[in-house]
Structure 1
Amino acid sequence: MEPADGFSLSFSVEGSPSPAPVPSTMSIDRLLPALLECFGIILCGYIAGRANIITSTQAKGLGNFVSKFALPALLFKNMVLLDFGNVIWPFLWGILVAKVSVFCIVCVLTLIVSSPDSRYSKAGLFSIFATQSNDFALGYPIEYLQYIYLVAPVSLMLLNPIGFALCEIQKFKNQENQQQRKLLIVGHVVLQVLKNPIVFMVIVGIIAHFALHQRIPAFMAEFIDGLANSFGGAALFYLGLTMVGQLRRLTRSTVVTLILLITAKL
């Protein structure tokens, strides 16, 4: 039996003594079924969008539900229940250092080679692209959950605001009032980060983790579970919907840029 937290446990049959728990590992046996699950649901979403079974307006509504309700509920639930004692912190720090390194390298190289009229905005967007991934939708079926819930929100709160700030610098750099520009950039970035439901619910979940002693009150447990459990399939299906018609928008320069950014991400 393999519970939802990704730990493999062995149980005996016919009343025989239970063997000792197997050390915490991510079972490679879950990888192939997870890939089939991911890409199968993504393909269903793509077919639904391609056949116009689901319109762009309906797809946008599904995306809003996933990002503003299902995912925040999933984050809140798992941040409350997360056992920090089982986290391998060197592994977590290794992921964060790798993401920060890629972010900085892409940002600096983009600032060097881009034209002045779009230098900062491209640096911010390209750096986010090179470090951002669909961790929850693609990683959730593999059941490597405790690191997903820690790494992804930290990326959203640490790296993405820097990219947003670079975009705001590009937007306001021609204004005369330098002090006003700085205040606008800082205020806008802080506001956008706090308004993000994912970031907000991570903060609330961490506070509730200690306030509620790793337990969700019974009166709200079913409500949270209902929203959280709807995330997996809906997110993958929506990912397939958003892929419809994207190839027609590609130009030669865009393809080259994508190849470079994907190489940096790899």
Structure 2
Amino acid sequence: MGLLAIIGGSGFKSLPTLEQLDARQLETPYGETSAPVTRGRLGEAEILFLPRHGPSHHLPPHCVNYRANLWALRESGADRVVGLAAVGGITPAFGPRVLSVPDQVIDYTYGRAHTLYDGDAGQVEHIDLTEPYCDSLRQALIEACSEAGRAVVPHGCYGATQGPRLETAAEIRRCERDGCDMVGMTGMPEAGLARELGLCYASLAFVVNWAAGKSGSVITMKEIEENLGLCVEQVMAVLTVTATRC
């Protein structure tokens, strides 16, 4: 069995309790990764870690090289990937500091390199994305939440928007009509590319604010950063159990 890889999002340019063993900058057919791939120990388990936005959180969502990141993780020995996701809550169950393991995604992004099959390889593949997340890894995350004593919403539809700006209230109303429970900026093309690469991929989402128009107040970075800080311990507890179980 291969290694579990964790892709860190906002609030997770590093993993606080990860004991680093080494870090490698890999060359990929798709250019540079966001950062070197770190191999380390989380609890008793060896894992891989890659910060999606770079070591100094300098890459906006639409500039992340998702293809290079996932390719490098697979080449480093990963067969399972957990993508951490800071999100805005849309429907009532998804308030600030709630953890969720989404089961569906709607892609509103554009202009991103979203497939490995761009014509350069001389072939086209049409992957099935009916269920965009790996069910076995989703269940492992849900069970880890229970074992770690952390409440979780074990489902949810993630709406992936372009960013880096936050959405308008009208855009959030559209997302809600479409069936989205939460909104973020990095869920796609990450999930689709993982499927193309044969990786078992799931997301651990944590709500850092109500989405536009859902709280009656203006969204501030102070609010987001405060909620991010409060989510770190919860997320790390769940990841440590997940790494041991996988």
TM-score range, shorter chain: under 0.3
More strand by share: 2
More helix by share: 1
Larger radius of gyration: 1
Q: TM-score, normalised by structure 2?
A: 0.26
